[in-house]
Structure 1
Amino acid sequence: MTVLTQTFKADNLFVGRYTFYDGTDFEADCVRYNIPGHGNLRIGSFCSIAADVQFMMGAANHSLNSFSTYAFGVVNPDWGQRLGMTKADMPVKGDTVIGNDVWIGRGAVMMPGVHVGDGAVIGAYSLVTKDVAPYTIVGGNPAHVIRTRFDATTVAFLERFQWWQLSDELLPLVIPYISDVDQAQALAGLRRFAREHQLAG
């Protein structure tokens, strides 16, 4: 397991605090087709990324509007000079954004431009082609909603509270609540904590 830090070679990869990857070289193992100018990868704090996860970056796309989808320029530079399309003709999906406290299961593939909300869970070997709402569990190929983790009121509270923004001094004080499986007790504790520390919630 490796806790990721902002020490990537590429300047379009960003990661928050304490996010970890079940491997040793996240950039080499997980980030595919990363060419500058084709979008950023932004991963929040406290995410859990399993082995063999793949983030397909913007350069993974092929044009579907030309008669051939073949990557002529990749195979032969001379062919690349003869292309009838430009970089501007290629589909642009934008940044791939992974929220905070997201768990991405082994072998999942994240397509370019998807946004995954805070607290979401991506099932193992899923193909994520569309945005995933906060605190939603998805799985399959293509990934589809399996269920939401909590009721709408609880999700709204967690999105306001944003425990992942707490300082390293305050964080240990909420760990008993955010790791408690008794949701009613945990929610009451977090609400009390928010009042005592004048935090949103």
Structure 2
Amino acid sequence: MGYASYVGERSFLCDAKVGKYCSIGDRVSFIVGNHPTTEAISTHPAFYSTIGQAGIVYAEKNCFKEYKHVEDNYSFIIGNDVWIGSDSKLVQGIKIGNGAVIAGGSVVTKDVESYEIVGGVPAKRIKYRFSENERLILENLAWWDFPNERLKELTKIMNNPKEFFEQINN
């Protein structure tokens, strides 16, 4: 969990790498584990897994990759300054870019780009928070890595995007 990030009540995060300054709402679920849907006759783990999730094992070896890792041992990569609204669900194997917003109640099944706002079931792009050029400036700036003293100085313009981009460009 990155610096200054927080998680709301009854949220379930596992196998997640979370960046700095993230806001994760109440009852957010990070869903891990998968079942074969078209790769096998049965979706029950007794036929493809040796773990014994249901107390029985017929498989002699693991025949299906149940867990998707995006990076190292993480099933989820959450960038910096990400807001995930309450009651959202994220399916394993995805990356959420810096500054992204996930509307409450969404089911995220694929990667979300930096500064993209998504929502719905399944989640789809609503819009970007900033222009392409502004997104590039923010990615290169990586303000979340600034020392606290510098961030305190920037607080006034952080709440005024027009002024922020004007001052940063000068």
Measured in 1, the distance between the counterparts of 2:159 and 2:80 equals: 15
Matched positions, count: 159
Structure 1: which amino acid aligns with 2:43?
Answer: T
Structure 2: which amino acid aligns with 1:137?
Answer: I
Give 2:36's aligned residue: 63
> Which structure: greater helix fraction?
1
**Higher RCO, 1 vs 2 (CA within 8 Å, ≥6 residues apart):** 2
Q: Does 1:44 align with 2:4?
A: no
Deviates more, 1:104-113 or 1:168-177: 168-177
Q: Choose which of 51, 59, 72 in structure 2 pairs with 1:83.
A: 59
SS at match of 1:150: coil
SS at match of 1:55: strand
Give how far 1:91 is off: 4.3
Give the TM-score normalised by the residue count of structure 1.
Answer: 0.73
Give 2:73's aligned residue: none
Unaligned runs of 5+ in 1: 1-14, 35-39, 193-201
Structure 2: which amino acid aligns with 1:118?
Answer: N
Give 2:49's aligned residue: none
CA contact (8 A) 1:105 1:123 kept: yes
Give how far 1:162 is off: 0.8
Give how far 1:174 is off: 1.4
Unaligned runs of 5+ in 2: 47-51, 71-75
Superposed CA deviations along residues 101-158 of structure 1, whole A, max 9, x for unmatched, are 0000011101101111101000111010010111010000110000011111100000
Q: Does 1:189 align with 2:167?
A: yes
Q: Does 1:119 align with 2:99?
A: yes
Structure 2: which amino acid aligns with 1:45?
Answer: K
Measured in 1, the distance between the counterparts of 2:65 and 2:138 equals: 38
Give 2:124's aligned residue: 144
Q: Choose which of 59, 64, 79 in structure 2 pairs with 1:99.
A: 79
Structure 2: which amino acid aligns with 1:123?
Answer: A
Structure 2: which amino acid aligns with 1:63?
Answer: P
Q: Percentage identity across aligned positions?
A: 31
Give how far 1:186 is off: 1.8
Distance 1:67 1:85, change over 3 A: farther
Measured in 2, the distance between the counterparts of 1:140 and 1:175 equals: 32
Give how far 1:169 is off: 2.1
